[in-house]
Amino acid sequence: MGYTMKYPIDKKMVAEHLAGMCKFPTRTHRLEEMIDFKPFDDMHEYMKEIYPLIHEKLEWEIVGRDALLYHWKGTGKSDKLPLLFMAHQDVVPEGDPAAWKYPPYAGTIDENGRIWGRGAGDSKGNIVPEMEAVEYLLSIGYTPDVDIYLGYGYNEEVGSGLKEKSAACMIMRTLEKRGVRLEGVLDEGGGVQKGENFGIDSANVATIGICEKGYADFEIIRKDAGGHSSAPEPNGALTYVANAILGIENNPYPLRLIPAVAEKFRVLSQFMSDPEQKRIFSDLEKNWAEAEPIIAKDRKLRPYFHTTMAISMARGSAQANVLPEYASVTVNCRILAPDTVDSVREHIKSVIPEGMEIELQKGCDPSEISVWDSEFRRNVMEVAQTFDPKPIIPVPDMVVGGTDAKYFNTISENVYRFIGFAAVGESGGAHVVDEYMDTDKVASACDFFIDLIKKYEVK
């Protein structure tokens, strides 16, 4: 563990706090009545133990069934609008525990300072540094001149398309009803990454999500008479489903360019080592005919340039010798503006066989695009730069997954998906077996949030 903390916070204690949070199996569900809230409630009690000053000195409340909203009231000396720092309490299922190096809810810290457990990176590893920063500032008697909010939902992992049932949306509505406008919001997504990941040796890259793609789960259904498999009829339910899959696979959305993505690659192109790619990506609109075949071959690039449709689930009969009365396939769509949930539904309808039903399980349109050139965004970058010996290149980004941040454009123009980790240590990714977070990363984010709070209120 090589990172030296700027402030007198015990780095080992930070790791222990995150490990402790990972011991609570806070799994979520699309249907709130199916969520086991006891692990959430137990984790709240643990949070009261490890962050006593926050729970003593801040106003805090439960929103919805178990979302947490904290309000650190400032002195009022500044006329700046408040800030909101976000994350989510819930985690995705762990899968087969036997496949993990350490038990997924043991909260193990290994000899290298890595914290292992479901939620270590997504997103309890964000809750901890935000709360550590506030707890430390309270411990030295600090009160900000502006109001600071902390907000933690409980259904982010299934929240795309839940709309008003999303815990994050409930938090937003609570603030909206109170007349709160926010200068800035920080949520998961993006962050400072090593430049070498982008082919850049001289600098590191800070991707800042200013928008995100929309989301939709469509179930495509064929109902049939069913019966015994010894007497099948042609064109049964699963045949319809198979043809629907082929129709979707054979009719993808074409690649195209939107301004936010063009700007991302314009910035990155300045540092590309390949002269030809540098020229092409510096002006994608002008060079689209050359860029399109490059993008088409690159699995990581393609999602930025079209609405994706992924066949992710299928359903037939429960037994091999039974013809299904109900067969279906689920298509997970990530929607690029200006496409919408409704327009994607119409596209799917046009490419599948007639006689099939399409049911929207959940969905939301692409988010609004936040302001890039804001004082708050500059504050974020200035603070991040102080923790990095290399220059940091700020890059506007479109998040191709989903976050809770999308709900907050209603009350803020500056909604950013950015994690305050320095480009130190490693993390084991999200939604994977053997999820982990390096103590150095979490520690660096504690320093980041302390400095961001201090810097923002300086006029």
For every residue of 118-183, DSSP letters joined together read TTTTTTHHHHHHHHHHHHHHHHTT---SS-EEEEEES-GGG-TTTGGGSHHHHHHHHHHHTT---S
- Say which range, 216-220, 232-236, 272-276, has the weakest mean pLDDT: 272-276
Hey, what domains does the chain have and what are their CATH numbers? Answer: 11-210+367-456 (3.40.630.10), 212-364 (3.30.70.360)
Q: Let me know how many helices (H) and strands (E) the chain has, helices first.
A: 12, 18
215, 431 Cβ separation under 8 angstroms: no
pLDDT band per the 50, 70, 90 thresholds, residue 272:
confident
Whether the predicted pLDDT of 291 surpasses 80: yes
Tracing tokens 């060079």 back to the chain, one arrives at: 287
Whether the predicted pLDDT of 423 surpasses 90: no
Whether the predicted pLDDT of 141 surpasses 70: yes
3-state secondary structure of 52: helix
* pLDDT one-digit tens code per residue, 203-229: 999 999 999 999 999 999 999 999 999
- CA angle, 123 then 148 then 205, to 5°: 50
What pLDDT is stored for residue 202 in this prediction? 86
28, 94 Cβ separation under 8 angstroms: no
Pairing, β 184-187 against β 415-417: parallel
* pLDDT one-digit tens code per residue, 3-52: 999 999 999 999 999 999 999 999 999 899 999 999 999 999 999 999 99
Separation CA 17–CA 1 (nearest Å): 17
* pLDDT one-digit tens code per residue, 320-373: 999 999 999 999 999 999 999 999 999 999 999 999 999 999 999 999 999 999
This prediction has a pTM of 0.93
Mean pLDDT of 124-131: 98
Q: What is the 3-state secondary structure (H, E, C) of 410-458?
A: HCCCCEEECCCCCCCCCECCCCCCCCEEEHHHHHHHHHHHHHHHHHHCC
By percentage, how much of the chain surpasses pLDDT 70? 99
Residues 6 or more apart in contact with residue 99 via CB below 8 angstroms: 433
Q: Mean pLDDT in the chain?
A: 95
What pLDDT is stored for residue 154 in this prediction? 98
For every residue of 312-347, DSSP letters joined together read EEEE--SSTTEE-SEEEEEEEEEEPTT--HHHHHHH
Sign of CA dihedral 193, 197, 198, 199: positive
Beta bridge partners, 60, equal 70
* pLDDT one-digit tens code per residue, 377-417: 999 999 999 999 999 999 999 999 889 999 999 999 999 99
Whether the predicted pLDDT of 1 surpasses 60: no
By percentage, how much of the chain surpasses pLDDT 90? 91
Whether the predicted pLDDT of 190 surpasses 90: no
Whether the predicted pLDDT of 159 surpasses 80: no
pLDDT band per the 50, 70, 90 thresholds, residue 459:
low
Whether the predicted pLDDT of 196 surpasses 90: no
175, 411 Cβ separation under 8 angstroms: yes
What pLDDT is stored for residue 59 in this prediction? 98
Task: For the chain, state the CA radius of gyration.
Answer: 24
